[in-house]
Structure 1
Amino acid sequence: MSLVLDREAPAVTEPRRSRPAGNSIAAGLVLLGLAGAGAWSVSSLGIDPATIVSSFDNAVGFFSRIVPLDFPAVDETVSLVVETLAIVFLATLLSVVLSVPVALAAARPTRMGRGSQWTARTFIVLARAIPDLVLAIVFLRMFGLGATAGIIAMGIHSVGMVGKLYADAIEELDDGPRESIEALGGSRPQQILSAIPQTLMPQLIATALHRFDINLRTSVLLGYVGVGGIGLAIADSLRTLDYQRGMALAVIVLGLCIVIELVSGAIRAALMHSAGARVTGGTWVDRMFNRGRETRAGDLVLTPPWSVARFRRFASAAVLIVLTIAALWRVDISWSALAAGLIDLPRTLALFFPPSTGGTLANLLQQLLVTVQISLAATFIGTIIAIPVGVLAARNVVANRVVHQAFRVLIVVVRGIPELILAIIFVVISGLGEVAGTLALSIGAIGLLSKLIADSIEETDTQVQEAVRATGAGEAQVFFAATLRQAAPAFVAHIMYLLDTNIRSATLLGVVGAGGIGFLLLNASRVNQFDVVTMVLILMVAIVLAVEALSMWLRGAVR
C-alpha cells in the first residue's frame, strides 16, 4: 500500500494511460501561461535583485536589534510549549475523528448513496477552501478568546486534507474483503468495521502525524487572533516591538517544528516499512489482540499470552488516551462556554450574512489581485529553486550519500520555519507590502516543493532506469530519459498544489502586513464588519476552487 502523505496528488507509479494529443498540447500551453503569469507577477510586484540589495542595511539593523535573543524563563518556556502541543494534538485528534466518517461517506465503496457522497465531498472541499483564520474568527466570536476556538478551527479545516486522503485511500483498497462480508449477509456497518479500519490503520496514523506537523505551524498564525500558546506570545511581543523576545520564541518554534518533522518522519517511515512487509496472522485487529494464530499442535489461539509486539500495540493505545486526557486538562476547555456558543450559533452566523463589500468593492478586488500575484510569484520563484534542490536530495539520482543527506537536512530546516515568522522578518526588513509576503512564501515553497520532488523521484520505477542504463546511457541521459519522464506528472501536480497552498497562505500572511487581501480580512474582523469577512471568504473560495479545478484537469491531461 502506498502512503501519500505530503501531497494530495496521486502516486506516480500508476500505469500510463493514453490521452488525446490535444489535451497534452493544451496542458503545455496552460503551464507556459502559468509560468508567464508568475514571471509577470515577480516583475509587477517589484521583486528584483536591486530591491533585495537595497534592503540589506535594514536586514543588518534588524538582526542587530534581536541580538541577544531574550528567551523566557525555563518554566514559562515549558508551559508555552506544552500548551501549544496540547492545542495542536487536540486539533489533530478532532480532525481524525471527523474525517473518518466523512471519508467513509465520500468513498465509493463505503458511501450510503450518491447524496451522501456528494455532501461529504462538498464538505471536504469547503473545509480546505475556508482558511483556518476565518474559522478561528467565527469560533472566537462564539467561544471567546482561548484555545477552544483554535482547536475547533484547525480541526475542521484539517478535514479538508485528512478526509480527502482517507477517502482516496479507501477507494484504492481491494474491495474484495468487504464484498465477501456482504455476500455472507453482513450488514453495512459490519462490512466497514471488518474490512476497512484494520487495513488502513498505518495510513490513518501516518496522515494524522503529517497533519500534526502542519497544525503546529498554523497554531503560530492563530495566535494573532487570540488563540493561546507560543503564537499568542509571539504576537504580543511583536506588537510591542520586543523583537528580542519575539524572535527568541520564533527560534523555539523552529526547534519544535524540526523535532516534530524528524520524529513524525521516522514514524511514517516505520509505518511504510511495516505496511510494505509481508505480515501473517490476520488483520490489524487480529494482531492487536494476537488472535487467529495456530500453535505447533495445530490449535487455534484465541486468548494467547502477551507478546512484546502485542504489548507495544496496547501501550500505544494507552499512551494516546493518556495524552488526550492530559491535553484536555492543560488547555482547560470551558465546556459551559462551548455549550453556550453552540446554542448561540444561529445569532453568531447572522452577523456574517448577508455578505457585504462595505463600500470598498474596488479595493477588495485590487487586493485580491495582489494576493493572486503574490502566490504566482512565490510559486514561480520557489519552483525555480526547489527543482534542483529536490533533485540533489533524491537518493536514486545522487549516489554520494553526503550530498543527498545534506540537501535533505536543508529541506527539513527550511520546512521547519513557519511562513508567518518569515513574513514578520521580511516585513521588518523590506517594509509592509507584497514584497515581504512573496519572499516569505518563496522560501516556504522551497521547503515544501523540494521534499515533494525528491520523494517523487525516489518513487519512480528503478527497473526502467536500469534498462536505459544497460543500453550504455550515462547518468544524465538516464535521469532525463527515464527518471524525469516518470516523475514529470507528479511535478505538475505538486506545483499546482503549491500554487493552491500559496493562495491560502498569501491571504493569511496579510494579517502581519505582508500584502494582499488578508490585511483587509483582519481589519474587518477587528471592527466587527463580519459581513465583509464573509465577502472576502467568498472571493477566496472562488479563487481556490478555480485553481483546484484547473489542477484536476492538468493532472488528468499530463498523466
Structure 2
Amino acid sequence: MTTTAEAPARRAGAAPRRRTLARTRPEGAAAALVVLALLGAAIWAFSDLRLNLATIVDGLGNAADFAARTLPLDFPPIGELLGLAGQTLAIVVCATLVASLISVPVAVLAARNTTLGGAGRFGARVVIVVARAVPDVVLAIVFFRMFGFGGLTGVLAMGLHSVGMIGKLYADAIEQVDEGPRTAIRAAGGTRLQQLVSGVLPQVLPSFVATSLHRLDINLRVSVVLGFVGVGGLGQAIADSLRTLDYQRGMALASVVFLLCVLVEIVSGSIRQALLGVREERGRKPGVLAALTGRKLGVQVPVQRVAGLVSGDAGSYRNERSRPPISPQWTTARLRRTGYWLLTALIVAASIWGADISFAQFERAITNFGPTLALFWPPETGGILGELLAELLVTVQIALAATLIGAVLALPIGALAAANVAPSPAVAKFFRGVVLAVRGVPELVLAIVFVVITGLGAVAGAFALGVGSVGLLGKLVADSLEEVDRGREQALRATGANRLQVFFAATVPQAAPAFVAHVLYQLDTNLRAATLLGLVGAGGIGYYLLNASRVLEFGVVTTVLLLTFAVVMLVELLALWLRKVLHA
C-alpha cells in the first residue's frame, strides 16, 4: 500500500525512467542504422575492390611458382638463427614490460573508481586513445631518427603504442573490482595509496598479467612489421631477405616467427594458470579481459584480514597488524608459482641485456630531440594530397572488406570451436587449433603471400587481413558462445529442440551483442593494420608513409599520420558509442 509520503517520491522517480526509455529507443534505432550502414559499406568495399574467388583461382599459378621459389626453406646457421630469435624476443619482452609499467598509473587515473578527478581521468583516457590511434610504425620512424638502428627503437615504438590497449584493459579491470576490501581499508583510516595497494591491486593482478601476456603475443607479430623500418631481429632479417628476393630465406625466417607465436601463446596460457591460479568459473559474467584471453579469471581476494573493518572494528585491525605475519605452507602449488615468478624475473633481466639497449643512445636522443621533431613539423603534402586522400579511402575499403571476410569465416569457425556448440570435444579442440594457427601467422607475412598470388594492390591487403582476422575474431566468437547462460539452452533441449534449434534460438541471441562489439573491435584493428600493409605493396596509404620516410620527406609522414589518426579516431568514437548503446 502506497502512503501519501511515498506517492510523490514514486511519481518523481517515474518521470526519469520514462525519459530514459524515450532516449534509449531512438539510440537503439540509431545504433541499428549505423550497424546496417557499416555492413552496407563493407559490402560496397568488397564489391568495389573486386574481391572474388576467381582472383584467387587465377593466382594459383603464381602461388605454385612462389612455392617453387620458396622451397626448400633456407634456414640460417643455428647460431645466427638463435641470435635473431633471441634479439626479437628480448625486444618484444622489454616493449611489453615498458608498456605494462606505464599503463599502471595511466589505468589508475583512467578508472572511474580510482581516479584523482575528472580532469585526470579525461587526460588518462586521451593518452590511451592517442596511443592506440598512432600506428607503431610511425613511432618507429620517429624513434629511428632519434636512436638509429637497434632494439631501443622497437622497444619504445611497440611499448608506447601498447599503452593504448594495455592501459584500457587495465582500467576496465580496476573498474570491475569488488569495492568491499577497499571500503574496509578506507574505513580503518587507510590512505588512498594503501587502498590501492591492498584493496585493488591484489584483485586485478591476474587480469594485469593475463593482459600483458596477451599483448606480448601481439607485439611478437608486430615486430615483423617494424623490421621494415630498421628494428632488429627476425623482422629486419625477413625484410632484408624479401628486398633481395631471397624468398627461401625470408619464408624460413617467417616460419620461425610463426613457431615462436604459437609457442608464446601456449606458454603464456600455462603461466596464467600456474602463476596466478586461473580457474574456470561457469556462470560468471565475463569482462573485456575474459573476451580477449578466452578465460574467466577467478580472483581470490584476501578479505579475511579486513573482515573486522566491515563491522567497524578498527581496533581488531590494529591489533592484527601488530601480530607477526603467518607464512603459508610451501606446498607444491606454491613452489610452482614461485618458480614461475623467478623464471619471469630471469627472462626480463635477460631481455634487457639481449635487447642491446645503450644509455649512450638516450644521450644522443636528448640532443637530437628538438631537431628531430622539427623535421616532422609543419605537415606537408608534397604535392600529392589528392593521391593521399585516394589511398586513405582505399585503406578504409581494405579494412571494411577484410572485416567482412573475417566475420563470414570466423562465425562458423568460432562456433565449431565453442565447447557448448561443437558436436564433440574433439571438433572443438581441432578448430581451437585452427584459430591458434591462424593467429600465429603475422599479417605482413600473409600480405606477402597474397601479393604474390594476386599481385600488388588492395586485393592482397584485403585477403591478408580477412584471413588474419579469423585468428582473433574466431577466438572471441568462440569465447562469447561458451560464456552464454546455459540455462536457456537446457530449457530448449528439455522441450525436444535439436542442436541447430538450440543454437539459433538460445545461444546466438545471447551472444549477438558481443558479436557486434567484437566485429567493431576487429574493424578498428584492421584499419590500423591496413595502414601498415602498404609497406609490402598490399595497397593503401602505407606505401606513401614508408616512401616518404625513405626520401626524408617527414612533413608528408606527419600528414599521413594526421589523416590516419583522424579516421582511426572516428572509428574509435563510433565503436565506443555503439558498445555503450548495446550494453545499456
Moved over 6 A (4+): none
Q: Distance in 1 between matches of 2:91 and 2:406?
A: 31
Aligned: 1:388 with 2:412: yes
AA matched with 1:525: S
1:442 to 443, 446, 466: 466
Deviates further, 266-275 or 339-348: 266-275
What are the within-5 Å matches in structure 2 for residues 173-322 of structure 1?
173-268=177-272, 271-273=277-279, 275-276=297-298, 302-303=326-327, 306-322=330-346
Deviation string 1:290-339 (CA, Å, 9 cap, x unpaired) is xxxxxxxxx97535664444444443333233222211221221111123
In the alignment, residue 70 of structure 1 is paired with which amino acid?
D
Q: Which residue of 1 aligns with 2:162?
A: 158
Q: What is the match of residue 409 of structure 1?
A: 433
Post-superposition offset of 1:396: 0.5
CA contact (8 A) 2:203 2:300 kept: no
1:185 Cα deviation (Å)? 2.1
Q: Deviations over 1:357-398 (max 9, x none)?
A: 122111110000000000111111111111111111110012
Amino acid in structure 2 at the alignment position of 1:215: N
After superposition, residues 1-80 of structure 1 pair within 5 angstroms as: 20-80=24-84
| Alpha-carbon distance in 1 for matches of 2:123, 2:450 | 41
For 2:540, the equivalent position in structure 1 comes to: 516
Query: Partners of 2:242 and 2:198 in 1: how far apart?
Result: 52
In 1, are the aligned partners of 2:536 and 2:543 still within 8 Å (CA)?
A: yes
Letter in 1 for 2:482: E
Q: Is the partner of 1:344 in helix, strand or coil?
A: helix
Report if aligned partners of 2:56, 2:453 keep a CA contact under 8 Å in 1.
no
Structure 1 residues 334, 75: closer, same or farther in 2, change over 3 A? same
Work out the CA distance in 1 between the residues paired with 2:299 and 2:582.
32
Equivalence for 1:3? none
| Greater Cα offset, 270-279 or 499-508 | 270-279
Verify: 1:324 aligned to 2:318, yes or no.
no
Q: Structure 2-normalised TM-score? A: 0.87
The amino acid that maps onto 1:164 is K
Gap change, CA 1:140 and 1:281, over 3 Å in 2: same
Q: How far apart are 1:180 and its partner, in Å?
A: 2.4
2-structure distance, mates of 1:246, 1:158:
27
Cα deviation, residue 269, structure 1 = 5.2
Give the share of equivalent positions with the same residue, in percent: 55
Q: Which runs of 5+ in 1 are unaligned?
A: 1-16, 284-298
Matches of 1:414 and 1:313 in 2, distance apart?
A: 31
Equivalent in the alignment of 1:127: 131
The secondary structure found in structure 1 opposite 2:51 is coil
Q: Which moved more, 1:504-513 or 1:356-365?
A: 356-365
Question: 2: distance between equivalents of 1:308 and 1:280?
Answer: 21
* Whole-Å separation in 1 of the counterparts to 2:150 and 2:559: 26
Distance 1:317 1:553 in 2: 40
Amino acid at match of 2:219: N
**1:467 is aligned to 2:467:** no
* CA distance, structure 2, for counterparts of residue 318 and residue 269 of structure 1: 16
Aligned equivalents of 1:303 and 1:384: distance in 2?
53
Contact preservation (8 Å) 2:203, 2:299? no
RMSD in angstroms over aligned alpha carbons? 2.1
Determine if contact 2:133/2:568 at 8 Å carries over to the other structure.
Answer: yes
* Residue aligning to 2:456: 432
Report the equivalent of 1:532: 556
* Aligned residue type for 2:94: L
**Structure 1 residue 498 and structure 2 residue 522: aligned?**
yes
Q: Counterparts of 1:445 and 1:236 in 2: how far apart (Å)?
A: 27
1:108 aligns with 2:112: yes
Per mean C-alpha deviation after superposition, the further-off stretch among 316-325 and 531-540 is 316-325
**Which one is further off, 532-541 or 339-348?**
339-348
Determine whether 1:348 maps to 2:368: no
Residues 334 and 120 of structure 1, relative CA distance in 2, 3 Å threshold? same
Structure 2 counterpart of 1:295: none
Greater displacement, 49-58 / 250-259: 49-58
Task: For residues 519-541 of structure 1, give each alpha carbon's deviation from its aligned partner in whole angstroms, at most 9, with x where no partner exists.
Answer: 00001111111111111111111
Residue in 2 that maps onto 1:289: none
Given residue 276 of structure 1, which amino acid in structure 2 is its aligned partner? G
Distance 1:30 1:456, change over 3 A: same
CA shift, 1:26, in A, is 2.5
Moved more, 164-173 or 342-351: 342-351
Query: Are residues 49 and 305 of structure 1, via their aligned partners in 2, closer, same or farther at CA, if it must alter by over 3 Å?
Result: closer
Aligned to 2:513: 489
* Alpha-carbon distance in 2 for matches of 1:164, 1:191: 21
Pick the aligned partner of 1:136 from 126, 136, 140. 140
Paired with 1:135 and 1:225, the residues of 2 have a C-alpha distance of 10
Structure 1 residue 188, shift from structure 2 partner = 1.8
Letter in 1 for 2:570: A
Bigger radius of gyration, 1 or 2? 2
Secondary structure of 1:196 counterpart? helix
Question: What is the deviation of 1:277?
Answer: 7.0
Matched residue, 2:284: none
- CA deviation after TM superposition for structure 1 residue 463, in Å: 1.5
Distance 1:405 1:515 in 2: 36
The separation in 1 between residues aligned to 2:545 and 2:500, in whole angstroms, is 49
Q: Aligned AA for 1:482?
A: A
Deviates more, 1:114-123 or 1:42-51: 42-51
Letter in 2 for 1:232: Q
1:452 equivalenced with 2:456 (yes/no):
no
The answer on whether the counterparts of 2:181 and 2:303 sit within 8 Å (CA) in structure 1 is no
- Provide closer, same or farther for how the CA distance between residues 282 and 345 of structure 1 changes in structure 2, counting only shifts above 3 A: farther
In the comparison of the two structures, how many residue pairs are matched?
530
Structure scoring higher RCO (CA < 8 A, sep ≥ 6) equals: 1
Cα distance in 2 for residues equivalent to 1:302 and 1:249: 51
Q: What are structure 2's unaligned runs of at least 5 residues?
A: 1-19, 281-296, 306-322
Say which is worse superposed, 434-443 or 467-476, in terms of deviation: 467-476
Q: Quick one: distance in 2 between partners of 1:339 and 1:309?
A: 46
Q: From the superposition, tell whether residues 281 and 550 of structure 1 become closer, same or farther in structure 2 (CA, over 3 Å).
A: closer
